[in-house]
Amino acid sequence: MMKRIFIYLLTLLFIVAGCSDTTSSDGNKNPKKNEAPKEKVLKVAVDSNPAVFDPYKLSTNSELVISQPIYNTLLRFKTSSIDIEDIEGGLAEDWETSKDGLTWTFKLRKGVQWHHGYGEFTSADVKYSIERVMDPELGSTSRENFKQVDKIETPDSYTVIIHLKQPDPAFLQSICGPAIVKKEAIEDNEKSGEIRPIGTGPFMFEEFKQNEKAVLVKNKDYFLGEPKLEKVEIHFMTDLTAIEIALKNGEIHMGPGLYEPAWLEQMSKNKDLTLDVSENGVFWGLYLNTSVDIYKNMNLRKAIAHAIDIKKYVKSRRLTAVEPKSVINSAVRGAYDAHYQYDLKKAKKYLKEAGYPNGVKLPEMTIPNLASFKGGAEFIQEELRKVGIELPLKSVDMASWVELVYSNQNPSTTVGLAAFGEAVVPFRSMFYGPSSMGQPTAIYNLTHFHEADRLIEQAETEIDRQKLDDLYKQIVEKIHDAYVVIPYVEGRSPLIRSNKVDLGYDFKSTMIYMYYITEKTDLK
Amino acid sequence: MIKYFIRRTLLTIPTMFLCITIIFFCLRVVPGDPALIMLGENATPEAVEGLHKAMGLDKPIWEQYLTFLNDTLQGDFGKSIYSEKSVSKQLIEAFPHTFNLALMSIFIACIIGIPLGIVSARKHNTLFDDGLRVVSLIVLAAPAFLVGIFLLIVFSVQIPLFPSMGVGNGFFEKIYYLILPSITIGTGIAAALIRFMSSSMIEEINKDYIRTVRAKGIPEKLVFYKHALRNSLIPVVTVIGLNMTGLLSGAVIIEMIFSRPGLGSLALDAIFARDFPVVQGSLILFMLIVIIVNLLVDLSYSLLNPRIRQS
Amino acid sequence: MQTNETPNLSTMKEINPATNKTSSNSFIDWKAFRKNRLGLVSLFVIIFFVLLALTAKWIVPYDPLTQNLLEKFQGISKEHWLGTDLNGRDILSRIIYGTRISLLIALCTVMLGATVGFAIGIIAGYKGGLLDDILMRMMDAIMTFPLLLFALMLLMVLDSGMTALVIVISVGMIPGSARIARGTTLDIKDREFVKAAKSMGSSHLRIVLTHILPNIITSLLVVATMNMSLVIMTEAGLSFLGVGISPPTPTWGNMIRDGFTFITLKPSLALYPGIALTILVIALNLLGDALRDAVDPHLKGQKK
Amino acid sequence: MGVLLEVKNISVGTRRNGEFIGILENVSFKLNKGETVGIVGESGCGKSMTALTIMGLLSKNIFVESGTVNYEDKELTKLPTTELNRLRGKEISMIFQEPMTSLNPSFTIGNQLAEVYKHHGNFSAKEIRQKSLEILSKVKISDPEDKLKAYPHQLSGGMRQRVMIAMALACSPKIMIADEPTTALDVTVQAQILDLINELQAGFNTSVLFITHDLGVVAETCHRMIVMYAGQIIEEGTVAEIFDHPSHPYTSGLMLSAPRLGSAIKRLKTIKGVVPDIDNMPTGCRFAPRCPYATDICFEKAPFLEKMSETRGVRCWHKL
C-alpha cells in the first residue's frame, strides 16, 4: 500500500512545483480573477508573434502594434488618416521647406521626456535616429526613403535642419516613418541583452512574455496629456478562431477580423461588438515574371488579364473588398484609372494568338499557406481553368516563399501590398528596372518591368505638382499596356472591437492592421 | 539497481548526440533564409549580407557545427537571430507552461483512464464494457484540435465557465486556465489508458497466483484491487511514458487553439521564422524531457516491480 | 524411499474448450475472426471506404474543385447533400475525393514505415551485438523527436507533395515497427526449431525467410492497421499547421483546417470531414484489435 | 471416523453454442476426518476439475450442472462467495502445482502469509508476525525472519511450495487439497515435500485430498485412492486393495506401465490410444476403445460404479 501512496504524493508534488511558476515576475501573487476592476487594462489580440523589437526592422503586424504606442515620429499623419494633406506635427511642433525643396527645418517640442528617465528629447536624438535608419549595416526596412539625405544639422537642441542632395516629393511622408529613438537606451539594451524598447510615446514598455503577451504601462507625463488607460496588453494568438472566441467572451477588447463576409455579417450581429473596415485597401495582384520565357509572350499575358472576372470576386467578398482602380493602391496619389475588361472571347482570341489554341499549362506558382493568399490564388486558378489555362499551385510556409520570390524563382506571384502617399515610392520599388528581383539592387520588382525607368527617375526628383502628376499618368499607362500585373482585389482589413472601447478618434484607416492606441483611448 | 540506471543513462548519450546532429543539419537544409524573412519586403542584398555576418551564417557549415556543438555542451544555446534574446531565457520562460500542461493532462488521463479501465475489466464482456470501449475509441480517434475547439465553444463561449486563452498567474489561477486544454489532451490519453488498463487487468486476473489468493479465502474486492491492480499498473506506466512524446508534439496544436505559450509554440514559430538557435534549443530541451521521462518510467517500473529492482 | 520415475503422462492443462483446437499461431484463425462481430463490422466499413476511394472519380456528384463563389456556406440542400464550403465547393464530393488521398497516404506510409521498420528490426534482432545497439539507438533518437515538428521540418526540405508527405510520416512509423520486429525475432531466434535449422546448416537468409518472417507477417498486419489511424491523424495535424498537400486537392486534414476558421459560423464545415476521419480511424483500430485476437490464441479465451 | 466432506453425483461442464458438454459425470466420494485420499488419472481426466469444484474456483465459462458438495452442514456449490470465503483458507485450503507462478510477484512472502491470518481471525500485527514465523519454521524453511521480507522470485521452487503449504495450513484447516504439488519439482525436493505433507497431516490431523498422476506418490501417502478416467470415477478402494489387485483394466494398465526398481520387465507396457475428446464421448464404457478386454456390451451400455465392499467400487463389465 505504501508504494501507491508514495507515487500519488510524488505526482502531486510535481504539479505543485510545476504550477507555482518560479519565474513569474508579475506582482500580485493573490489569485484574484484579474487586477482590481477599476484599473483600466485594454487587451488587444494580434495573430502573429513578434520576433524583432528594433523599430527600424519591424516586419510582422504584432511588432507594428507594440511599437505604435511607445514611439513618436518627427511628423505624423492625423490619427487613422493616410492622406498626405493630414500630415501634422509630432515631436516637431512646426517645419518649413526651402523653395528648391533641398533644406527642411524642424522646430522641436520642448520639455518632452524619454521613458524610464532617459532625459529630455533633443535634436541630437533626431540626428542619431535618422542616421541610424540610413546605416546600411543595420539593414532597416525604410532605408530606401532616405537615400537623398545629404547631411543633418542641429544648430541648437530644439532645431534640426536636413539638407537633401536632390528634391524628393515623397520626403514629407518619409519623415513620418521612422520612430525617434534614444542612443543611450539602445546601447544599454544591447549590453544587457534585455528587451526594453525606450520611446517618448503615451505608453511605456513594461514586460514581454514570448508567445503570450506584451504589456505596456501608461507614461504619466506624456507631452500630449496623461493617457486614460492604465495598461495595454497585446496578446499573441496565432489562431483566428481563438481570437474570435476571446472577443465574444470579453477577454479581449480588440482584434483582427476574417476576410470572409459571411463571418463578418455574423459578427456584426453581435450587439456588444463593433466591426470596422480600414479604408486603405491592400492591393492584391497577380504579378507575371517576364524574366521567365513563357511570360515574355504579350498575348499570353493579355489572355490571362482578360480571363479573370474581378467584379464577381469583389462581389463575393462584399464589404471587405473594393475593385482595384489602378495598377497600385487606389489611396496612393497618382493611382490613375487603369483596369482590364473581363471578356472571355478576347481572352480565348489572345490565347490562340499566343500559340496555345487548346489551352496551356503555366509553370507552377508557389504561394505561402496563409488564408489571405490561398483564397485569391484559388480564385484565379479557377477562373483561368475556364479558358483552358491551367495554373498549378504549390503552398509552402512563409519563409520558403520569401526565399523563392527573392531569388527570382517564382514564375508568377500573387501578393498584397499596402502603400500610401506619393505613387513614386511604389513605382520605385515595384516597377523600376534595377529593383527587379535577383539583382544586387533588387527591392520588390516581381515582373522585371523596366519600360518606365526614365519616367520614374524624373518623378523621383520632381516637386512641381503638375509635372509630377503628368509623369504619374504616363507611368500608369506604360504599366497597364505591358499587362505585367493583373490586379484582382483591394482587400480592406476588417477590425473588431468591443463596445466598451472608446478609441478617442473616429476610425478611418490604419497602416498597422489594428486600431491605433493613443492617450485619448479609453475603456467605458 | 543503480548499475542498471547508470547503463540506461549512458545509453542515452549516443542517442542525444545523434539527435543534436540531425536537428542541426536538418535545419541547415530547410529552404528559407532568416535574414530575408527578417528584412521582409525591402531586403536589399547588402543588408542581407550584413545580417548573415551578424548571425554567423556566412562561416562554412562545419565550423558552424563545431561552434554549435561546444556551445550546446556548455549549455549555451546562443541567442535568437531576431530578438537577440538569449535562447536559454526563452526556454526557461516557455518550459513551465508546457510542463504544467503535460503534467495536468497525464493527471487527468490517470483519474479518468485508470478507474474506468478497472471497471471495464471487472464488468468484462458486459454491455457497459463494450459501450466504454466504443466511447474510448471515438475519443481516441477524434482529432485533438476538434475536441479542443468543441470544448472551447461549449465551456467557454456558450457557458462562460472557463477562460479561452492565456495562462493566468498565481497557482490556482494557473490550474483554472489549465483545465480545458488538459482535458482536451487528457481524454485522448485516458482513452488509450482505459483500453490498456482493461486488457492488462484481464490478463492479470487469469494468472495462477490469483487462484491461490482466492483459495486463501481473500474477499473478491481485495483480490481485484490489491493483487490484480498492483501488477496491471506496471504496463500502464509504460503507456504513460510512451504517450508523453506524442503529448509533447501534439501540444503544439493545443497551445495554438488555447493561445497558450509553451515549448511547442516556441519551436513552431522558430521553425517558421528559421530562427535556428531557438529551434535547436527547444528541440534539444524536448529531447531531454523525453529522455528524462523514459528514465522516470523505468524508475517507477522498478518501484512497482520488485524483480527488476533486485536485478 | 526412492520413487522411480513414473511414466510422465503429458501434463497438458485441464481441458479448456475454447482453445481446444490448437491453431498454428503463425497464421490468422479466420474462424475466430469471423466470430468477432466488431471486427467484421469494421472490416465492412473499411471496404466501403476503399471502394469509395477507388470509384471517387466517377461517383462524385460535383467536381470537387469547381467553385461558385455566390453559393458559399450553403446548408444541406437537395443539390448539395452536405452543403458547400468557403469557396462554394460541394463538401460531399470533397470528402469522397479526400478519402482517396487520405487512404492512399495512410496505405503507402504504413507499408513504407512497416517494411523499413521490420527490416531494421529483424536485422537488429537477428544479428544482435554492436549493430543491434547502433540501430536501436537510432530508433531511440527518432522516437524522442516530436513527430509533428520533425515532420514539419522534413516537409519543408522535401517540398510538400504527396510523396514527401508519405516519406516524412513513415519516418515516424519506423521505430515502432522496428521494436516489434526485433522483439519477435529475438523471441523466435532462441526457439528450438530455429536452432535445429541452424544446426542443419541452412543459411541465415533461409532461416529469416522460412521461420522468422511468417511469424512476423501477422504482427506486421496488426501493427499496420494500428499505425494507419496514427498516419491519418498526423496528416490532419500537419495540414492544421498549414503544411501538407497543396490546394486545391482536398484531404480530410486540410478540409478540417479550412473549416476550422469558420467553426463558429458553420461548424459542419470542419465536423463532416472530422466525423469521416473518426469513423475510419475507429474502424481501423477495431480491425487491428480483431486481427490481434485472431492471431494471438492465448488472448482469445478471455475476449469473448 | 466421521465423514468430513461428501461429494455426491457432481456433474460439471460448459455450454458451447447452446449445447451442454460434460467434463465431470456424477462424481461421488467421501473424505473422512484425518484420512488422505488420492485421486489418480491421466491429465485431462477431470481430477483437478473436481478439486476446483469443491473449492468453488471454476473459471467463468464452466459451471456445476448437478450434484452437491456437502461439508459439515453446508452445501458448498450453492454458497455465495462471501460465505465460501469464510471457509476457504480457514477450513478447507488448497495448494497448486506451479510454485513459480502461484505467488504474487509484487508482494513479500510475509505480506501474503499475513493476509490469511488477517482475514480468518482478528490477530494483532505482532501476533500475526509471531504466527507467521511459527508456521514457516513448521514447514522447515530456514531463517524465516529474512524469508518474511523476501519476494517470491528470490526463493527456489521447493521453498515456494513450502510457503504455499504454510499458507494453506496457517489456520490449521480441516481439509487440505493438494493439486499435484510435487509434479513441477525435481525428484529430491519432491520427496522432502511429500514427507512434509505426511508429517503435517499427522500433526494437524488434517484430511488431505491428494491429486496426482504419479502412482508412486499415491502408494506412499494415501490411505484410499480413486482412479478417474475421462471425467468418471472408474475404480475406488483402499491403496492396499487396488495395488494388490487392480480390477479395472485401465488401473491395471497404469500399474503395468509403471517401471519398478529391480523388476525384470525390460520394455514397459503402454496403453494404446488416446483419451477420448470431451465433445464426442464414446457411448458405453469410455475406456472401451482402448480396453483389451472390451466386448460388445462395453460399447453399447455404460457400466455403473458397482460397490463391491464398504470401500471398494469398480465401473466395468468384466472386472479382473
Q: Where are the domains of chain B?
A: 31-73, 89-310
Task: Evaluate whether residue A60 is within a structural domain.
Answer: yes
Q: Are residues A148 and A240 in the same domain?
A: no
Q: Which of residues 366-405 of A touch B (CB under 8 A)?
A: 396-400, 402-404
Q: What is the reported pLDDT for C11?
A: 29
Closest-CA residue of chain C to D20: C17
Q: What is the reported pLDDT for A399?
A: 80
Integer angstrom CA distances of residue A382 from A307, A313, B6, C69, C158? 10, 11, 62, 11, 27
Q: Are residues A330 and A466 in the same domain?
A: yes
Q: What is the reported pLDDT for D318?
A: 82
Mean pLDDT of A44-69: 85
As a whole number of angstroms, the distance between CA A276 and CA A265 comes to: 12
Q: Are residues A260 and A384 in the same domain?
A: no
Q: Which of residues 238-257 of C touch B (CB under 8 A)?
A: 240-241, 256
Task: Evaluate whether residue A73 is within a structural domain.
Answer: no
For C12, the closest of D43, D190, D258 (CB atoms) is D43
Task: Evaluate whether residue C264 is within a structural domain.
Answer: yes
Question: Would the pTM of this model clear 0.90, i.e. be above it?
Answer: no
Give A39's DSSP letter: S
- CB atoms C263 and B153 under 8 Å: yes
Give A6's contacts in chain B (Cβ within 8 Å). Answer: 303
Please, what is the average pLDDT of chain A? 85
Q: What is the reported pLDDT for D259?
A: 67
Q: Are residues A263 and A336 in the same domain?
A: no
Please, what is the average pLDDT of chain B? 82
Q: Which of residues 19-48 of C touch D (CB under 8 A)?
A: 20
Partnered with residue A413 across adjacent β-strands are A287
pLDDT band at residue D317, thresholds of 50, 70 and 90? confident
Closest-CA residue of chain D to B228: D104
Give A445's DSSP letter: B
Closest-CA residue of chain A to C65: A382
Q: What is the reported pLDDT for D262?
A: 64
Q: Are residues A253 and A336 in the same domain?
A: no
Residue A56 belongs to a domain with what CATH number?
3.40.190.10
Mean pLDDT of C24-29: 52
Q: Are residues A352 and A253 in the same domain?
A: no
CB A480 within 8 A of CB A489: no
Q: What is the reported pLDDT for A362?
A: 93
C262 inside 8 A of chain B by CB: no
Task: Evaluate whether residue C103 is within a structural domain.
Answer: yes
C1 inside 8 A of chain D by CB: yes
Q: What is the reported pLDDT for A305?
A: 92
- Other beta carbons within 10 Å of A145: 23
Of the candidates D170, D172, D111, the residue with the CA atom closest to the CA atom of residue D135: D170
B141 inside 8 A of chain C by CB: yes
Q: What is the reported pLDDT for B146?
A: 84
Give B303's contacts in chain D (Cβ within 8 Å). Answer: none
ipTM above 0.90, yes or no: no
For D16, the closest of C12, C14, C17 (CB atoms) is C17
Closest-CA residue of chain C to D276: C15
Domain final position from A163, A183, A203: A183
C271 inside 8 A of chain B by CB: yes
Task: Calculate how close chain D gets to B224, using CA atoms only, in Å.
Answer: 12
A24 vs C55, residue with greater confidence: C55
pLDDT band at residue C18, thresholds of 50, 70 and 90? very low
- pLDDT digits 0-9 by tens, D92-128: 999 988 888 888 888 889 999 898 888 888 888 899 9
Cβ-Cβ contacts under 8 Å between A and B: the total is 205
Angle at A103 between CA A99 and CA A109, to 5 degrees: 115
Give the strands of the sheet with A231-236, arranged side by side.
A203-209, A213-218, A231-236, A41-46, A254-256, A494-498, A273-277
Q: What is the reported pLDDT for D73?
A: 84
Q: What is the reported pLDDT for A24?
A: 37
A345 inside 8 A of chain B by CB: no
Of the candidates C234, C273, C232, C272, the residue with the CA atom closest to the CA atom of residue C252: C273
Residue C218 belongs to a domain with what CATH number?
1.10.3720.10
- CB atoms C67 and A378 under 8 Å: yes
**DSSP readout, chain C?**
--PPPPP----PPSP-GGG-SPPPTTS--HHHHHH-HHHHHHHHHHHHHHHHHHTHHHH-SS-TT---GGGTT--S-SS-TT-B-TTS-BHHHHHHHHHHHHHHHHHHHHHHHHHHHHHHHHHHHHH-HHHHHHHHHHHHHHHHS-HHHHHHHHHHHS-SSHHHHHHHHHHHHHHHHHHHHHHHHHHHHTSHHHHHHHHTT--HHHHIIIIIHHHHHHHHHHHHHHHHHHHHHHHHHHHHTT-SSPTTS--HHHHHHHHHHTTTT-THHHHHHHHHHHHHHHHHHHHHHHHHHHH-HHHHHHH-
Domain count, chain C: 1
For D44, the closest of C6, C7, C14 (CB atoms) is C14
- CB atoms C157 and B19 under 8 Å: no
Q: What is the reported pLDDT for D121?
A: 83
- CB atoms D88 and B217 under 8 Å: yes
Task: Calculate how close chain C gets to B306, using CA atoms only, in Å.
Answer: 23
- CB atoms C146 and B140 under 8 Å: no
- CB atoms A379 and C264 under 8 Å: no
B305 vs D155, residue with greater confidence: D155
Q: Are residues A298 and A214 in the same domain?
A: no
Asked if residue D272 has pLDDT above 50, the reply is yes
Query: Identity (one letter) of the amino acid at D243?
Result: F
For B164, the closest of A14, A31, A251 (CB atoms) is A251
Task: Evaluate whether residue C148 is within a structural domain.
Answer: yes
Task: Evaluate whether residue C188 is within a structural domain.
Answer: yes
Mean pLDDT of D261-281: 72
Q: What is the reported pLDDT for D264?
A: 65
**DSSP readout, A148-214?**
TEEEEEEEETTEEEEEESS--TTHHHHHTSSPP--HHHHHHHHHH-------SSSEEEEEEETTTEE
- CB atoms B173 and A443 under 8 Å: no
For B43, the closest of A400, A404, A406 (CB atoms) is A406
B207 inside 8 A of chain D by CB: yes
Q: Which chains form contacts with chain C, at 3 or more CB pairs under 8 Å?
A: A, B, D
pLDDT band at residue A308, thresholds of 50, 70 and 90? very high
Of the candidates D252, D207, D184, the residue with the CA atom closest to the CA atom of residue D40: D252
Asked if residue A205 has pLDDT above 90, the reply is yes
Q: What is the reported pLDDT for A397?
A: 79
Task: Calculate how close chain A gets to C250, using CA atoms only, in Å.
Answer: 12
- CB atoms D106 and B208 under 8 Å: no
Q: Are residues A194 and A240 in the same domain?
A: yes
Can you state the percent helix, strand and coil of chain B, rounding each to 5?
A: 80, 0, 20
Partnered with residue A215 across adjacent β-strands are A207, A233
C-alpha cell read off for A30: 493573490
D94 inside 8 A of chain B by CB: yes
Q: Are residues A172 and A131 in the same domain?
A: yes
Task: Evaluate whether residue C25 is within a structural domain.
Answer: no
For C7, the closest of D23, D257, D260 (CB atoms) is D257
- pLDDT digits 0-9 by tens, D181-191: 888 778 888 88
Q: Range with the lowest mean pLDDT among A352-356, B45-49, C270-274?
A: B45-49
- CB atoms C149 and B267 under 8 Å: yes
Closest-CA residue of chain D to C15: D44
Q: Which domains does chain D have, with CATH numbers?
A: 3-222 (3.40.50.300), 246-320 (no CATH)
Task: Evaluate whether residue C78 is within a structural domain.
Answer: no
Mean pLDDT of D160-165: 88
C158 inside 8 A of chain A by CB: no
Mean pLDDT of D268-295: 79
**Which residue range is the domain that position A347 belongs to?**
280-492
Mean pLDDT of B124-147: 83
Task: Evaluate whether residue A78 is within a structural domain.
Answer: no
Task: Evaluate whether residue C71 is within a structural domain.
Answer: no
Mean pLDDT of B36-45: 66
- pLDDT digits 0-9 by tens, A252-283: 999 998 877 778 888 888 888 999 988 888 89
Q: Range with the lowest mean pLDDT among B21-35, C87-101, D57-71?
A: B21-35
Of the candidates C166, C182, C46, the residue with the CA atom closest to the CA atom of residue C112: C166
Task: Calculate how close chain D gets to C188, using CA atoms only, in Å.
Answer: 23
- CB atoms B250 and C237 under 8 Å: yes
Please, what is the average pLDDT of chain C? 75
Domain count, chain A: 3
Q: Are residues A356 and A498 in the same domain?
A: no
Task: Evaluate whether residue A81 is within a structural domain.
Answer: no
Highest mean pLDDT among A67-76, B239-248, C41-50: A67-76
C151 inside 8 A of chain A by CB: no
Task: Evaluate whether residue C85 is within a structural domain.
Answer: no
To probe the interface with D, which of C14, C34, C300 has the most D CB atoms within 10 Å?
Answer: C14
Asked if residue A25 has pLDDT above 60, the reply is no
The distance from CA A368 to its chain's CA centroid, rounded to whole angstroms, is 17
E strand or H helix that includes residue D116: helix D109-119
Q: Are residues A224 and A302 in the same domain?
A: no
Task: Evaluate whether residue A499 is within a structural domain.
Answer: yes
- pLDDT digits 0-9 by tens, C159-199: 667 888 888 888 888 888 888 888 878 877 777 777 777 77
As a whole number of angstroms, the distance between CA C41 and CA A102 comes to: 84
Asked if residue B206 has pLDDT above 80, the reply is yes
**Which residue range is the domain that position C163 belongs to?**
40-51+90-296
Asked if residue A26 has pLDDT above 50, the reply is no
Evaluated on CA atoms A293, A294, A300, A301, the torsion sign reads negative
Give D216's contacts in chain C (Cβ within 8 Å). Answer: 3-4, 6
Give C12's contacts in chain D (Cβ within 8 Å). Answer: 43-44
Task: Calculate how close chain D gets to B215, using CA atoms only, in Å.
Answer: 6
Strand A393-396 versus strand D36-40 pairing type: unpaired
Task: Evaluate whether residue A201 is within a structural domain.
Answer: yes
Please, what is the average pLDDT of chain D? 85
Q: Which chains form contacts with chain A, at 3 or more CB pairs under 8 Å?
A: B, C
Asked if residue C221 has pLDDT above 80, the reply is no
Give B255's contacts in chain A (Cβ within 8 Å). Answer: 211
For C144, the closest of B142, B206, B287 (CB atoms) is B287
As a whole number of angstroms, the distance between CA C111 and CA C116 comes to: 8
Task: Evaluate whether residue A25 is within a structural domain.
Answer: no
- CB atoms C243 and A312 under 8 Å: no
Integer angstrom CA distances of residue B83 from A128, A189, A194, B161? 21, 11, 9, 37
CATH superfamily of B89-310: MetI-like (1.10.3720.10)
- pLDDT digits 0-9 by tens, A437-457: 888 777 889 999 999 999 999
A3 vs C144, residue with greater confidence: C144
Residue A442 belongs to a domain with what CATH number?
3.10.105.10
A375 inside 8 A of chain C by CB: yes
A213 inside 8 A of chain B by CB: yes
Mean pLDDT of C137-164: 79
Give D119's contacts in chain B (Cβ within 8 Å). Answer: 216-219
